[in-house]
Amino acid sequence: MAFDIRKIRDDFPILHQDVNGKPLVYLDNAATTQKPLSVIDAEAGVYKTINSNIHRGVHHLSNVCTEAFEDVRKKTADFLNAGSSDEVIFTRGTTESVNLLSSSFGETFLGQGDEIILTEMEHHSNIVPWQLLAQRQGVVIKVVPVTDEGELDMQAFTELLNEKTRLVAVTHISNVLGTINPVKEMIVLAHAAGVPVMVDGAQAIHHVPVDVQKLDCDFYVFSGHKMYAPTGVGVLYGKRKWLEQMNPYQGGGEMIDKVSFSGTTFNDLPYKFEAGTPNYAGVIGLGAAIDYLKNLGTKAVWEYEHELFEYAVKQMREVPGIRFVGQAQNHTSVISFLLGDSHPFDVGTLLDKLGFALRTGHHCAQPLMDRFGIPGTVRASFAFYNTREETDSLVDALKRVAMMLG
């Protein structure tokens, strides 16, 4: 193993507690990850030492806070290997990033009868904004089906691409199935047809190395809170050629160049899309999370998590009555399952009594649940601070719950 798991766990104080008299085993990382002390201290340190509205002051605190904020933009661009920090837009999270695109890209480039390609495994945040656009502008949504194994039907995808297609929006890693989609292949195919691609990286950014120039995606979106950073901060990466043409998403301070009642001109990138006071403390916390991940090494994180994931799948197969939902060839970090005919909520409730934090329900992916004909699943999602010992205790708990539920 490339890093010391015990030392890492010491960086996450929330993990060292009991729940219902049992040691907490936190396996809900696909919903949100826990935060290391360095991130907590970085955000708290803003309010303790440099708190001031950014970009708008000439005094010391404003200048220092602005510099710290903009340093994170450069750090994020480097983390993604973006061509320029001007291509990094700070948002409140993946959801707002997709809504920004739906509004700004949609209103700029899409009209009646134009088509957007989504997939059957998308999170609601990458479905509903496009449906709202379809209602406003008559855009048509096409959907790539999912196979029984939980993989995208790539033949169907190629057949959906046509002269009416204006955008492909696809998740990098499914938050339900853990499937790692062939996004590079999809981007190549889409670009050959002259179609830009947005990748939802909410479940990928903290698990796999992401190089937006190597992927050649047109947009990449993710949330800070799923990559060990504070809540309320996210990123939209976009190629300059698109961002420069897109209309602003919101109006207000910072996104303007000059305002008069006869008309308004807008600021340069990236500020054109960052109206109002941003969550600068959260962004600085995001920078600390990036530092933490880079210090661990993204390759080391990926190797450890994938090894743990493979071990967990193997051990969980021993649980009587367990049924895995989605078994793609290329997948990681997320295991969705059912126990016999028991409702996921019942399983999750009993696991909670034993100290386990897992997610139950449709995971904001109801179309995918409909595809598999189920109301929901139990989902165990792993991070680099999880251990084999926790996995073994989960398997023991699942066997106990299976007996209790018959």
Instruction: Collapse the DSSP code of 82 into the 3-class scheme (helix H, G, I; strand E, B; otherwise coil) and give the result.
Output: coil
Global pTM reads: 0.95
Q: Are 322 and 398 in contact (CB under 8 A)?
A: yes
The string of DSSP letters for 140-184 reads: EEEEE-B-TTS-B-HHHHHHH--TTEEEEEEESB-TTT-BB--HH
Give the mean pLDDT of 351-364.
Answer: 96
Checking if the pLDDT of 255 tops 70, the result is no
pLDDT digits (tens, 9 = 90+) for 143-183: 999 999 999 999 999 999 999 999 999 999 999 999 999 99
Measured N-to-C along each axis, helices 280-296 and 37-45 cross at an angle, to the nearest 10 degrees, of: 150
Give the mean pLDDT of 242-265.
Answer: 81
Q: Are 46 and 281 in contact (CB under 8 A)?
A: yes
Which residues are part of the catalytic machinery? 364
Positive or negative torsion for Cα 21, 27, 31, 35? positive
Give the mean pLDDT of 260-270.
Answer: 78
pLDDT at 256: 63
Checking if the pLDDT of 122 tops 90, the result is yes
Give the mean pLDDT of 217-243.
Answer: 98
Q: Are 289 and 312 in contact (CB under 8 A)?
A: no
**Long-range CB contact pairs, 125-134, < 8 A, 24+:** 125/94, 125/95, 125/98, 125/200, 125/202, 125/364, 126/98, 126/169, 126/171, 126/200, 127/367, 129/98, 129/99, 129/101, 129/102, 129/103, 130/102, 130/106, 130/169, 132/102, 133/102, 133/103, 133/106
For residue 341, count other CB atoms closer than 10 A to its CB: 9
- Per the model's pLDDT, the better-predicted residue between 276 and 42 turns out to be 42
Positive or negative torsion for Cα 99, 102, 107, 111? negative
Give the mean pLDDT of 389-393.
Answer: 98
Would you place residue 289 in the very low, low, confident or very high pLDDT band (cuts 50, 70, 90)? Answer: very high
CA–CA separation, 87 and 64 (whole Å): 23
pLDDT at 362: 95
User: Which domains does the chain show, CATH number per domain?
Assistant: 5-27+297-401 (3.90.1150.10), 40-294 (3.40.640.10)
* Averaged confidence pLDDT in the chain: 95
Give the mean pLDDT of 27-46.
Answer: 98
CA–CA separation, 21 and 406 (whole Å): 25
pLDDT at 250: 79
Would you place residue 1 in the very low, low, confident or very high pLDDT band (cuts 50, 70, 90)? Answer: very low
